[in-house]
Structure 1
Amino acid sequence: MSSKSSGATKRVRLSPDERRLQLITLGAKMLGDRAIEDISVSEIATQAGISRGLLFHYFPTKQDFQLAIVRHANAELLERVTPDRTLGMFEMLRDSIDRYIDYVSENRTSYLSLLRGPASASPDVVPLVDQTRDAIIGIILTEVPIPIDDPDRPRLLLAMRGWIAFVEETTLSWLRHETITRAQLVELLVESMVALALALNPALAAVLRR
C-alpha cells in the first residue's frame, strides 16, 4: 500500500492545532497495524504533506509524538466502551465488552505492543495505560455507584484492577490463538465480572444482572 498518492502529498494550510491533530490522527491510524515503536515519522510527514523537520515543530521528539498517539488511542478506546444507557445493566456491560473486543481486534498489533511489547516497559507509557485502566474502572463504578466512604470500596477497587488484568490477559491470549469464538470470549468476560461481583457483594451482582 503506497502512502505517496497525490492526495496524500498535497500541502494543505492548517492552523497549528489542526496540524497537530492531523499528525496524531495519522499516527493513531498507523498504530492500527504496527507497534508504537515502529511508527514512521517520515511516512506520517509524507502523508500530511509536510517535511519531517516540520513535524518536530509540533512534537519536540519522536517520543513526544508517540506519547501523543498513545493518549489519542486511549481516548478512542474509552469512547468506544462508553456505556449505552438505553440498555439494561447486564446488556450495557455486554455491549461495552463487545465493543472493547471490536476495538482491540481492529488494533491488535498496537494492543499487543502496549501491553506486552517494548513500549509496555516504558516509564512514560505505563502511566498512560494505567490511567486508561483506572478510567474503565471509573466508568463501571459510575454505572453501579459505590459510596466513596463505603468501607468495602478499597476491596472492590482492588478486585476491579484484578478483573481488568484478567480481561487484558484473556484477550491477548485470544488474539494470538482464537481457541474459542468471539461470542464465547465476550460471554466469558461478562460472566467473570458477574462472578467477581457475586463473591464481593451479592447486591452488586444483582444490579449487574438487571
Structure 2
Amino acid sequence: MTTPAKRQRLAPDQRRKQILAVARRLFGQGCYSSVSTSDIARAAGVARPLINHYFGGKRQLYLEVVRQMLVTPVSVTEHLPRTNPQERISIVVDRWIDVVEHNREMWLSAIGEGIGLDEDLDQVLLESDEVAADRVLEAAMMTDVVEGREQLRAMIRAYGTMLKAASREWLVRGTLSRGDLHIMLTRSALHLLQDVYPAVREQAGPNARPRS
C-alpha cells in the first residue's frame, strides 16, 4: 500500500519527471505486475488520468522507466577532461556506478527482464547497448574509428553483458566492493580497446575489408 503524497502544482516537465521518479521507486520495490497506475498516482499525488496523459498508460510508463535506467545518460560522458583514455574511462565508470547505486532496485529489476520476453522491452535493451557503445567510444577518444568499427562495437556490447553480471555481484551477492567493481570495469574496458581490438584487427591482416 503506497502512502498518498500531498498534491502540488508543478510545470508539465517537472510533473513528468516526478511521476517517473515515483514509478522508478515503486517498480524497483516490486515488479511490473504488482504495481498499478493507481499506486503510482497515489504516491505521486496526482490523478490517475494524468499518468495516461503523460505516458499513455502503465506499459509505456514502465518502458520509459527501464529506458531511463538502462540507456547510459549523457551526463556520464559530459565535461570529460581532454587528457587520455585511461583517466576518461575511469571517470565514466565512476559516474555510471553512481547512477546504478542511486537506483539500485530499479536497475536490478531492469537488467533482470532479459532478452526475448517482450519485443518492446527487447528494443529498449538493444537501444541501451548501442548508446553504451557510443559513450565508451567517446570516453576512449575513438569515435572516428572506421576499420573494424562494427567488430569494435560488438566487443563493447559484449563488455556490457559482463558489466551487468558484475553489477549483480556487487549489489546482490556482495562479492565485489564498489572499488573492486571500478577497477574491474575500467581495466577490462581499457584492455578490450587497447589490446583485444588491435589483436583482432591484426589477425584480419592488411588485406581485410574494413567494416563500417
Q: Which residue of 2 aligns with 1:82?
A: 77
Q: When you count helix as a share of all residues, which structure comes out higher?
A: 1
2:58 to 54, 57, 62: 62
Instruction: State the 1:139 CA deviation.
Output: 1.6
Q: Which residue of 2 aligns with 1:176?
A: 172
Work out the CA distance in 2 between the residues paired with 1:73 and 1:50.
Answer: 23
2:147 to 125, 147, 151: 151
Work out the CA distance in 1 between the residues paired with 2:128 and 2:36.
Answer: 25
Amino acid at match of 2:6: T
Q: What are the Cα deviations for residues 16-59 of structure 1, in whole angstroms up to 9, with x where unaligned?
A: 55543432232234445444554442232123333324433433
Instruction: State the 1:80 CA deviation.
Output: 4.5
Indicate yes or no: 2:9 matched with 1:46.
no
1:3–1:120 Cα change, 3 Å: farther
1:29–1:79 Cα change, 3 Å: farther
Indicate yes or no: 2:88 matched with 1:92.
yes
CA contact (8 A) 2:77 2:138 kept: no
CA contact (8 A) 1:113 1:120 kept: no
Give the 3-state SS of the residue equivalent to 2:73 in structure 1. Answer: helix
Work out the CA distance in 1 between the residues paired with 2:11 and 2:178.
Answer: 43
Gaps of 5+ in 2: 200-212
Gaps of 5+ in 1: 203-210
CA contact (8 A) 2:29 2:105 kept: yes
Provide the identity percentage: 26
Instruction: State the 1:168 CA deviation.
Output: 1.3
1:82–1:93 Cα change, 3 Å: same
CA contact (8 A) 2:3 2:42 kept: yes
Amino acid at match of 2:81: T
2:16 to 20, 32, 51: 20
Work out the CA distance in 2 between the residues paired with 1:41 and 1:156.
Answer: 41
What is the TM-score when the length of structure 2 is the normalising length?
A: 0.76
RMSD: 2.9
